[in-house]
């Protein structure tokens, strides 16, 4: 899929994108009162679908949002979109909004949630390792909202903007203790003394689906994995750094805050295992 989607799912209906109309009173538009999932589609198969649905349902429970579809209904609608758009390799974005309500932050209980599902091209990536910089974007440690993918992503927007202004590919978000959590849109891993590390979820880290997969793949390779907090200055001392996301998989980091980083064979091993898992999943679905 190398172009924008033309068919979407809105409120359970399959229709052209230009026919979708969202109310100016919608709470996702007004307050970011919504949830979303970004799902990799490979050879027509949504990858790690069950894990995405588990996170979506957990997020809905956290903010008290009633999902308008079951996981099976979401899957059926997504598969229909893949077929209608002839998009076998793409990104599926599922968004659930609480719907239209009265002005203000309070809820009446009469809001009618609905879902919007769209398909998008896989982001283009440079062949060179990423350049990251620390930013002033912050998240509170142990913040329960850090564990969900809500429509309020101003912190990520700030991190991305500051990174671009400094000539970097992405920005690091720190928590209230000064430890690194993630980038604007990816989880962080680093390798030190033959051990693979990643920040703990309690630091304010999104429980990434690809993060979960990589931890499992590393363990299957016999690689030790530890969750530890890391101050911004310490990441520059790592043997190697990489990031993970559903949209782009595994990407190596070549520089953090102006300090060059080395490559490590484990990153290539994990990338190979990741793509093998993509292929295996597509075959299993068929």
Convert the pLDDT of each residue in 226-257 to its tens digit.
999 999 999 999 999 999 999 999 999 999 99
Q: pLDDT band at residue 284, thresholds of 50, 70 and 90?
A: confident
Decide yes or no: CATH 3.10.440.10 for domain 130-281.
no
Q: What is the mean pLDDT of residues 116-123?
A: 95
Contact present, 186 and 243 (Cβ < 8 Å): yes
Contact present, 214 and 270 (Cβ < 8 Å): yes
Query: What's the pLDDT at 1?
Result: 42
Query: What's the pLDDT at 2?
Result: 43
How many Å apart are CA 4 and CA 283, to the nearest integer? 26
**Among residues 156, 152, 150, which one has the least CA distance to residue 58?**
150
Q: For residue 209, what are its two tokens? A: 């689906």
Q: For residue 57, what are its two tokens? A: 């349902």
Contact present, 207 and 190 (Cβ < 8 Å): no
Contact present, 36 and 185 (Cβ < 8 Å): no
Convert the pLDDT of each residue in 53-64 to its tens digit.
999 999 999 999
Convert the pLDDT of each residue in 150-202 to its tens digit.
999 999 999 999 999 999 999 999 999 999 999 999 999 999 999 999 999 99
CB burial of 236-274 (b: ≥16 within 10 Å; e: otherwise) equals: bebebbbbbbbbbbbbbbbbbeeeebeebebbeebbebb
Contact present, 247 and 40 (Cβ < 8 Å): yes
* Alpha-carbon dihedral 274, 280, 282, 285, rounded to 10 degrees: -130
Query: What's the pLDDT at 101?
Result: 87
Convert the pLDDT of each residue in 94-117 to its tens digit.
999 999 988 899 999 899 999 999
**What are the Cα distances from residue 236, in Å, to 230, 231, 232, 239, 269?**
10, 10, 8, 8, 22
Matching fold, domains 7-120 and 130-281: no
Q: Which fold has domain 7-120?
A: D-amino Acid Aminotransferase; Chain A, domain 1 (3.30.470)
Report the Cα 11 to chain-centroid distance in Å.
23
Q: How many CB atoms lie within 10 A of CB 223?
A: 16
Q: pLDDT band at residue 286, thresholds of 50, 70 and 90?
A: low
Q: For residue 114, what are its two tokens? A: 């609905």
Domain boundaries, the chain: 7-120, 130-281
């Amino acid at each position: 899929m190398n172009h924008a989607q033309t068919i979407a799912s809105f409120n359970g209906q399959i229709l052209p994108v230009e026919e979708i109309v969202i109310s100016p009173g919608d709470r996702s538009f007004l307050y970011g009162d919504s949830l979303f999932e970004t799902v990799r589609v490979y050879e027509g198969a949504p990858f790690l679908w069950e894990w995405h649905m588990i996170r979506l349902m957990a997020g809905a429970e956290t903010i008290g949002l009633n999902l308008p579809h079951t996981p099976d209904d979401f899957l059926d609608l997504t598969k229909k979109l893949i077929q209608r758009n002839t998009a076998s390799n793409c990104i599926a974005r599922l968004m659930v909004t609480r719907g239209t309500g009265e002005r203000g932050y309070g809820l009446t209980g009469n809001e009618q949630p609905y879902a919007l599902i769209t398909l998008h091209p896989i982001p283009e990536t440079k062949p060179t390792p990423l350049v990251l910089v620390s930013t002033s974007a912050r998240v509170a440690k142990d913040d329960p909202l850090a564990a969900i993918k809500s429509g309020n992503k101003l912190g990520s927007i700030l991190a991305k903007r500051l990174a671009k202004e400094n000539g970097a590919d992405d920005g690091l978000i720190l928590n209230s203790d000064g430890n690194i959590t993630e980038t604007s849109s990816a989880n962080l891993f680093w390798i030190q003394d033959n051990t693979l590390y990643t920040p703990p979820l309690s630091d304010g880290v999104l429980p990434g689906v690809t993060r979960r997969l990589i931890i499992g793949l590393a363990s299957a390779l016999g690689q030790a994995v530890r969750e530890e907090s890391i101050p911004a200055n310490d990441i520059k001392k790592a043997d190697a750094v990489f990031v993970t996301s559903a949209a782009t998989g595994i990407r190596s980091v070549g520089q953090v805050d102006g300090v060059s980083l080395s490559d490590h064979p484990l990153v290539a091993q994990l990338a190979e295992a990741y793509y093998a898992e993509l292929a295996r999943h597509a075959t299993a679905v068929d």
